[in-house]
């Protein structure tokens, strides 16, 4: 088992290096001179030349790459082209809200979807199964921003249970923090509940036809035990896969949800940076997201090994 | 015998599909099983024998099958009337089951120790330490080695025989009154089968367990049965003691079933010195690649040399992992041999680049007739494809296909049907027709009758022999079943762990084996001394 973990963790390192190189190249090779874009159309040739020297743009590409990677290793991600503040600070400021929203969404989605999927599988073909399946079609097809506005309309405007928008950090008090997270979390989790519940249902139904399920029943195990102890464990690998995929998809969904609920998170930062062509910020955020993807995939791989002894090679 | 208490009493039981009344799967069957007695339910596929055992366990699939009549009494308690909670209590503690497939009957993500322990957790109030002691003790009783290690192992780390021992340990740990065994040794090699049968017998004698043994294998039946229940298409044909059924069957169906069982007495003489069709010289196959420092390759076959003459049926026999299928694939170059020569009609085919001409001369019949025919093509299309591919005009190909179908005793007009419209035996005939239509000089039959019921098996074997006689084709016959080999082979090659341990005329190899392994195989074959076709023991037959 230790060998398996070590092998997986080590194999993540070259992937991260490759990601860094690609992120670097994408911006260097995109059309246009970064110096012109930064200085604006009215800059004099002297100003542009100064800028190129200070940014190192006139050095060989490979040298630029090493300097850039060396800076990253020291935690220096450069300064924002728009505001002039260090990118690292900008990103860290926005990371909290996004992290909070992502974690609550994943927890809610998994906590709701797995029982729903298992119940649907157990009651296959009965009304409760059809209800769950119909609900999942709706949950998956309605766009996040529509669900968001509907929820705001009902629970914030009409009922007044939650604030309409905004974000307060944990330091402002747990009530303030949590009450503002409820609606965005519910909104964002809808499609993932639908997706995960379907996958859980399909896989549990498949596993329930296996011979070892019959063995478990022959032992005198009740249906509940058969489902929880034997079926779910064997359905775990595809479920973990889809949860992993969901988390990576979530990061894309966060951009929209944060706009709807006016949350100052990474999604908003990306949106602002793209609109303002703030390349250093975009670069850092892409790097951060990519790193998160790599770690999610690594966790999924490690969880496979945890759930299925046959995968520990 | 008759004063021993009855453990299981099946009275007039009918099992029907849901919704009821369409076509009962099992009709009005009645039999008893007494303490310490072994009753074998025998029948071909579709006879309802497995469904009956599932009904006794209360494990019929709820949506599709139900018991519509009769009683199933377990120590006087009608299991058809008890509550689901009571039924769960009875399972494992009073009636336990051992299944056919040890590969899939265990949960792959739990340790086997935990899976046996689960039975105790469910049905007893023992502490964790007591349970562990009991599980380890039971594992020793089913003769597993190194029980502490196996307790922590997952199913995929154990062999088929070891897994079946785990399933048996799980079934018998609570000392149930009744054990239902549904084809528990069918998926195992003969030597393992013999050990498992002996184990079940020993445990049964110690605990006075009543055993219901569902099987299609008369060899197994003749070894272990006290009494036999014969079923056919849902009806109980006849019941009787083992000797009654095997020596004096009353019903025609039983007579046919018993006499279809091939005996171990070799029937065929060696062929005369005909020209050689295939000569295999020093063939070896190594799987995997050699690394710079490590060598993880497996030598699946080495030093394989044998000859197949015109009109000869050569059997390669061996257990799983003996390399017999590797050899079959290598001589046709479906797998590339690592060393050696395969001389086919005077030409070494190993160095050849273009095998087109060779392919026509060697045709393959596969084990599973359900998967070897393309389900989306008609029989005619499947039969004609090869011919057309080798340039035969469509009209003539069609005529030839029709002729060949008649040769395998199928009417020519079935050409327009699809594989799913045929039974397993018919499909295997079609697969044979597909091979024969190419007019090959050599047929390779890889376990070609292993998936078939005995009566069908006997017909297909007869068919292969007829084809050999009529066309003079040679057959390389791969099988794990000595009885089948004894029926049809002129020459036998015995393989063990990738090597040939013995070869020679079938007469000599089976009657006077010189190698220990051949002798062990013959001894392990169930009922080596029973001549089923003549309803008598072999001694009197000779």
Token pair belonging to B483:
């009885």
Asked if residue B541 is part of any domain, the answer here is no
CA distance A299 to chain B (A): 19
Place A48 in a pLDDT band, splitting at 50, 70 and 90: confident
- Structural domain includes residue A80: no
Asked if residue B542 is part of any domain, the answer here is no
Contacts 24+ apart (CB under 8 A), A296-304: A296/A244, A296/A247, A296/A248, A297/A12, A297/A244, A298/A8, A298/A9, A298/A12, A299/A244, A300/A240, A300/A241, A300/A243, A300/A244, A301/A8, A302/A5, A302/A8, A303/A236, A303/A240, A304/A237, A304/A240
| Among the listed residues A135, A179, A134, the one whose alpha carbon sits nearest the alpha carbon of residue A156 | A179
Residue from the list A216, A220, A222 with its beta carbon closest to the beta carbon of B123: A220
Do B62 and B167 lie in one domain? The reply is: yes
Contact A218 B97 (CB under 8 A): yes
Instruction: Say which CATH number the domain at A146 has.
Output: 1.10.3720.10
Shared domain check, A153 and A53: no
Q: How far apart are CA B510 and CA B93, in angstroms?
A: 45
Same domain, A204 and A167: yes
Question: Which of B57, B96, B104, B107 to substitute to test the interface with A, most A CBs within 10 Å?
Answer: B107
Q: Is there a single domain that holds both residue A147 and residue A215? A: yes
Residues of B with CB under 8 A from a CB of A: 57, 59, 85, 88-93, 96-97, 99, 101, 104-110, 118-119, 122-123, 154, 156, 167, 170
- Let me know if residue B201 belongs to a domain: yes
Question: CB–CB of A218 and B156 under 8 A?
Answer: no
**Pairwise CB contact (< 8 Å): B167 & A215:** yes
Segment holding B51, helix H or strand E: helix B49-57
Work out how many CB contacts closer than 8 A connect A with B: 71
Inside any domain, residue A312: no
| CB contacts, 8 Å: B154 with chain A | 309-310
pLDDT under 70: residue ranges of chain B: 1-2, 20-22, 289-296, 538-542
Q: Nearest Cβ partner of B92 from A218, A222, A229?
A: A218
Q: Are residues A272 and A232 in the same domain?
A: yes
Question: Same domain, yes or no, for A23 and A130?
Answer: no
> Are residue A276 and residue A153 in the same domain, yes or no?
yes
Is A143 part of any domain? yes
Above pLDDT 90, what percent of chain A? 8
Using an 8 Å CB-CB cutoff, list chain A residues near B109. Answer: 233-234, 236, 307-309
Q: Specify the 3-state DSSP secondary structure of B68.
A: strand
B281/B223 same-domain check: no
Query: What gap in Å lies between CA B138 and CA B165, rounded to an integer?
Result: 10
Q: Does B154 contact A310 at a Cβ distance shorter than 8 Å?
A: yes
Q: Provide the percentage of residues in chain A whose pLDDT is more than 70.
A: 94
A contacts of B93 (beta carbons < 8 Å): 220
Q: Are B350 and B429 in contact (CB under 8 A)?
A: no
- Residue of chain B whose alpha carbon sits nearest to that of A209: B61
Count of structural domains, chain B: 2
Measured between CA atoms, how close is B86 to chain A, in angstroms?
9
Mark yes or no for CB contact A216/B96 under 8 Å.
Answer: no
Question: Quick one: B371 and B493 in the same domain?
Answer: yes
CA A93, CA B478: separation in Å to the nearest integer? 72
Edge to edge, the sheet with strand B38-42 lists: B77-78, B65-74, B6-17, B26-34, B235-241, B227-232, B38-42, B210-215, B178-182, B95-98
Question: Does any domain span residue A197?
Answer: yes
Is B532 domain-assigned? no
Q: What is the pLDDT of residues A263-290, one digit of tens each?
A: 788 888 888 887 877 777 888 888 888 8
Task: Give yes or no: residues B180 and B53 share one domain.
Answer: yes
How far off is chain A from B20, nearest CA to CA, in Å? 20
Could you tell me which residue, B538 or A70, shows the higher pLDDT?
Answer: A70
A235 in the same domain as A178: yes
pLDDT of residue B541: 43
Which residues on B lie below 8 Å from A218 (Cβ)?
Answer: 57, 59, 91-92, 96-97, 99
Residue A313 has pLDDT above 70, yes or no: no
Chain B, nearest residue to A310 by Cα: B156
Return contacts of B142-148, CB within 8 angstroms, 24+ apart.
B142/B166, B142/B168, B142/B169, B142/B172, B142/B199, B142/B203, B143/B195, B143/B199, B144/B169
Domain end among A74, A102, A125: A74
How far is the alpha carbon of B420 from chain A, nearest alpha carbon, in Å? 23
Chain A residue closest in CA terms to B101: A211
Residue A167 lies in a domain: yes
pLDDT digit string, tens, across residues B349-387: 888 888 888 888 899 888 777 778 888 889 899 889 889
Number of domains in chain A: 2
B526 close to B219: Cβ distance less than 8 angstroms: yes
Could you list the residue range(s) of the whole structural domain that residue A3 is in?
1-74
Please name the member of A211, A233, A309 whose beta carbon is closest to the beta carbon of B105: A211
Q: Do A220 and B99 touch (CB under 8 A)?
A: no
Chain B nearest CA to A217, separation (Å)? 8
In this predicted structure, the answer to whether residue A175 has a pLDDT above a threshold of 50 is yes
The CATH number for B215's domain is: 3.40.50.300
Question: DSSP states of B189-212 as a string?
Answer: -HHHHHHHHHHHHHHHHHHT-EEE
Domain end position, chosen among B207, B233, B260: B260
Interface touch B109/A234, C-beta < 8 Å: yes
Same domain, B255 and B286: no
Q: Nearest Cα to B481, choosing from B218, B182, B305, B104? A: B218
Global pTM exceeds 0.80: no
- Scanning every residue of chain B, which has its alpha carbon at the shortest distance from the alpha carbon of A229? B110
- Interchain pair A233, B109: CB under 8 A: yes
Residues of B in contact with A308 (CB under 8 A): 108-109
Residues in chain B with CB shorter than 8 Å from the CB of A309 are 108-109, 154, 156
Angle at A214 between CA A213 and CA A217, to 5 degrees: 90
Cβ B90–A230 below 8 Å, yes or no? no
Does one domain contain both A60 and A158?
no
Q: Is the domain of A4 the same as that of A62?
A: yes
In a domain, A118, yes or no: yes
Q: Considering only CB atoms, which chain A residues are within 8 Å of B59?
A: 214, 217-218
- Looking at residue B180, its pLDDT comes to 92
Q: Which of B90, B104, B118 sits opposite A210 (nearest CB)?
A: B104
| B540 lies in some domain | no
Cβ-based contacts of A236 with chain B (< 8 Å): 109
Report pLDDT for B542.
Answer: 42
ipTM over 0.90: no
Considering only the beta carbons, identify the residue of A212, A219, A221 that sits closest to B104.
A212
Q: Are residues A38 and A69 in the same domain?
A: yes
Domain boundary among A74, A104, A136: A74
Indicate if B222 and B327 belong to the same structural domain: no
Of B57, B123, B156, the CB nearest to A310: B156
Which residue's entry shows tokens 């000859």?
A: B307
Taking residue A56's Cβ as centre, other Cβ atoms within 10 Å add up to 12
Do B457 and B499 belong together in one domain? yes
- Asked if B99's CB is within 8 angstroms of A211's CB, the reply is yes
In tens, the pLDDT along A204-252 reads 998 888 888 988 888 888 888 888 888 888 888 889 988 988 888 887 6
| Structural domain boundaries enclosing B12 | 6-260
Mark whether B246 and B293 lie in a shared domain.
no
Cβ contact B107–A211 (<8 Å): no
B178/B305 same-domain check: no
For residue B103, the distance in angstroms to the closest alpha carbon of chain A comes to: 9
Asked whether residue B67 falls in the same domain as residue B153, the answer is yes
Q: Measured between CA atoms, how close is A204 to chain B, in angstroms?
A: 14
Torsion of CA B420, B422, B427, B431, to 10 degrees: -70
Question: Considering the domain boundaries, does residue B94 fall inside one?
Answer: yes
Best residue of B94, B105, B152, B167 to probe chain A, by most A CBs closer than 10 Å: B105
Compare CB distances from A220 to B93, B101, B106 and report the shortest one's residue.
Answer: B93
B270: in domain:
no
**A308 with B109: Cβ contact below 8 A:** yes
Inside any domain, residue A87: no
Measured between beta carbons, the chain B residues lying within 8 angstroms of A210 are: 104
Q: Would the CB atoms of A215 and B106 count as touching at under 8 Å?
A: yes
Are A233 and B96 a contacting pair at CB < 8 A? no
- Is there a single domain that holds both residue B414 and residue B468? yes
When scoring B51, B60, B109 by the number of chain A Cβ atoms within 10 A, the one with the most, hence best to mutate, is B109
């Amino acid at each position: 088992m230790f060998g398996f973990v070590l092998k997986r963790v080590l194999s993540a390192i070259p992937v991260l290096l490759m990601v860094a190189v690609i992120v670097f190249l994408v911006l260097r090779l995109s059309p246009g001179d970064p110096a012109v874009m930064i200085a604006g159309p009215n800059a004099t040739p002297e100003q542009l030349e100064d800028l190129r020297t200070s940014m190192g743009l006139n050095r060989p590409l490979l040298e630029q790459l090493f300097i850039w990677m060396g800076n990253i290793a020291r935690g220096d991600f450069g300064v924002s082209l728009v505001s002039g503040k260090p990118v690292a600070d900008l990103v860290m400021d926005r990371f909290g809200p996004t992290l909070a929203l992502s974690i609550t969404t994943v927890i809610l989605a998994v906590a709701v979807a797995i029982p729903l999927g298992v119940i649907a599988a157990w009651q296959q073909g009965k009304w409760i199964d059809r209800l769950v399946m119909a609900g999942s079609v709706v949950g998956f097809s309605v766009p996040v921003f529509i669900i968001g506005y509907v929820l705001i309309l009902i629970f914030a405007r009409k009922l007044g249970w939650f604030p309409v928008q905004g974000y307060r950090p944990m330091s402002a008090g747990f009530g303030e923090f949590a009450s503002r997270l409820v609606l965005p979390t519910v909104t964002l989790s809808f499609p993932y509940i639908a997706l995960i519940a379907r996958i859980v249902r399909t896989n549990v139904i498949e596993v329930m036809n296996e011979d070892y399920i019959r063995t478990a029943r022959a032992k005198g195990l009740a249906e509940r035990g058969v489902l929880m102890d034997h079926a779910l464990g064997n359905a775990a690998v595809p479920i973990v896969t889809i949860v992993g995929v969901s988390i990576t998809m979530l990061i894309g969904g966060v951009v929209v949800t944060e706009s709807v609920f006016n949350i100052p998170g990474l999604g908003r930062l990306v949106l602002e940076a793209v609109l303002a062509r703030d390349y250093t910020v975009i670069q850092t955020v892409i790097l951060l997201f990519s790193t998160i993807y790599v770690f999610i995939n690594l966790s999924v791989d490690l969880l496979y090994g945890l759930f299925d002894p046959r995968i520990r090679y | 015998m008759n004063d021993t208490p009855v453990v299981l009493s099946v009275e007039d039981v009918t099992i029907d599909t849901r919704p009821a009344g369409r076509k009962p799967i099992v009709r009005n069957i009645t039999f008893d099983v007494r303490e310490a007695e072994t009753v074998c339910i025998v029948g071909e596929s579709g006879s309802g024998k497995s469904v009956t055992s599932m009904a006794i366990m209360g494990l019929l699939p709820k949506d599709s099958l139900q018991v519509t009549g009769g009683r199933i009494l377990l120590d006087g308690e009608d299991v058809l009337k008890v509550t689901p909670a009571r039924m769960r209590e009875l399972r494992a503690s009073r009636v336990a089951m051992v299944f056919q497939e040890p590969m899939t009957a265990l949960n792959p993500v739990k340790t086997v120790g935990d899976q046996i322990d689960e039975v105790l957790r469910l049905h007893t109030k023992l502490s964790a330490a007591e349970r562990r002691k009991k599980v380890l003790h039971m594992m020793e009783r089913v003769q597993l080695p190194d029980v502490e290690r196996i307790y922590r192992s997952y199913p995929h780390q154990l062999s088929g025989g070891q897994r079946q021992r785990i399933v048996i340990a799980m079934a018998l740990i609570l000392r149930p009154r009744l054990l239902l065994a549904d084809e528990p040794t069918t998926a195992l090699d003969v030597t393992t089968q013999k050990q498992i049968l002996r184990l079940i017998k020993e445990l049964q004698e110690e605990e006075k367990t009543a055993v219901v043994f569902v099987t299609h294998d008369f060899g197994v039946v003749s070894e272990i049965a006290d009494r036999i229940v014969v079923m056919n298409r849902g009806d109980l044909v006849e019941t009787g003691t083992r000797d009654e059924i095997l020596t004096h069957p009353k019903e025609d169906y039983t007579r046919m079933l018993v006499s279809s069982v091939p005996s171990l007495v070799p029937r065929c003489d060696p062929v005369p010195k005909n020209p050689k069709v295939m000569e295999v010289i020093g063939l070896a196959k190594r799987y995997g690649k050699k690394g710079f420092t490590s060598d993880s390759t497996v030598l699946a076959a080495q030093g394989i040399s044998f000859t197949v003459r015109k009109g000869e049926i050569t059997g390669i026999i061996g257990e799983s992992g003996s390399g017999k299928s590797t050899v079959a694939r290598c001589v046709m170059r479906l797998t590339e041999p690592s060393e050696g020569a395969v001389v086919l009609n005077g030409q070494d085919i190993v160095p050849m680049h273009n095998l087109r001409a060779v392919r026509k001369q060697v045709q393959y019949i596969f084990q599973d007739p359900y998967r070897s025919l393309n389900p989306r093509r008609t029989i005619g299309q499947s039969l004609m494809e090869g011919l057309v591919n080798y340039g035969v005009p469509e009209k003539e190909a069609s005529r030839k296909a029709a002729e060949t179908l008649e040769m395998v005793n199928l009417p020519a007009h079935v050409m327009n049907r699809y594989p799913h419209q045929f039974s397993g035996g018919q499909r295997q005939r079609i697969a044979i027709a597909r091979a024969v239509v190419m007019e090959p000089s050599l047929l390779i039959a890889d376990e070609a009758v292993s998936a078939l019921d005995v009566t069908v098996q006997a017909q297909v074997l007869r068919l292969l022999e007829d084809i050999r006689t009529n066309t003079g084709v040679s057959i390389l016959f791969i099988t794990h079943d000595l009885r089948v080999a004894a029926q049809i082979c002129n020459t036998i090659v015995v393989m063990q762990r990738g090597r040939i341990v013995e070869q020679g005329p079938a007469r000599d190899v089976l009657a006077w084996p010189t190698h220990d392994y051949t002798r062990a195989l013959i001894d392990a074959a169930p009922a080596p001394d029973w001549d089923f076709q003549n309803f008598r023991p072999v001694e009197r037959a000779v």
